[in-house]
Amino acid sequence: MTDSSAIPRTPSFRLDGKRAIVTGAGRGIGVAAAAALAQAGAEVTVIARSAGEIQAAANAIGTSAVAATLDVSDLDRVALFFAARDPFHILVNNAGTNRPKPMWDVTEADYDAVMGLNLKAAFFVAKACAKRMMEAGTAGSMIHMSSQMGHVGGPNRSLYCASKWGLEGMSKSFALDLAPYGIRSNTIAPTFIETPMTAPMFADVAFKASVLSKIKLGRIGRPEDLMGAVLFLASEASALMTGTSIVVDGGWTAD
């Protein structure tokens, strides 16, 4: 008979006593990620460019959420922001944008906007957060919001795919650099999620039908579909995971 004391216990998904930060947290995926962390006991700092929007998000999440206004593309301000604060245990690198169009219509301004926010800003947010963690000897988890388009290609998505494939490679290299410090780096790669950013796209009936034809589970994703993955990567339940991606795509990339 097996001794009950020898039976492994599931690592905790609780985040009590942990400090988390979520970028682009005013709406959609960002506010869902922040809510997941707060509901698991973390103290969450939510940041975005719009003061009114981010304060409303913090108020809705509850007393464990603190709002801060920050444009993550302002790299000097990003460095100062993290240097002036206690280290975080959890980063959700979520701020992003998209300018869908065929590659021959992409302008330099489009390139700078998408790559600048999705990749450059994400890189330097992670750098500033990691440096503060390393200085304090704080172990933790970095979660970068990628996309299924970081694993496959898509029509009219050349810039977006470039930024998300770059994010995937960035996270893998971060994992190698940061492992000696007990800091993990992983991505979450969602399919199309119903958010304010994607709503105008789904107004196009043909586009929505083409998306649904690729999602084998037969529906567009919701922000709630990502909350479990965020909590898993933030917690001790994923303690041996780094340098990889959780693809939440309803089967899109399985085809």
For the chain, domain boundaries: 13-254
What the block records as the tokens of 110 is: 């489009």
Quote the pTM value. Answer: 0.96
The CA distance from 216 to 249, in Å, is 9
What the block records as the tokens of 88 is: 């975080």
The whole-number pLDDT of residue 4 equals: 75
The whole-number pLDDT of residue 1 equals: 59
Check 82, 124, 160, 252 and give the catalytic one. 160
CATH class label, 13-254? alpha beta
The whole-number pLDDT of residue 162 equals: 98
The CA distance from 81 to 210, in Å, is 42
**Residue 208 DSSP one-character state:** H
The whole-number pLDDT of residue 195 equals: 86
Distance of CA 254 to the CA centre of its chain: 22
Of 234, 244, 145, 230, nearest to 191 (Cα)? Answer: 145
Our answer to whether residue 160 is catalytic in this structure is: yes
Backbone angles phi, psi at 73, to 5 degrees: -85, -10
| Longest Cα–Cα distance in the chain | 69
Parts of the chain with a pLDDT under 70: 1-2
**Radius of gyration, CA atoms only, the chain:** 18
**Residue 121 DSSP one-character state:** I
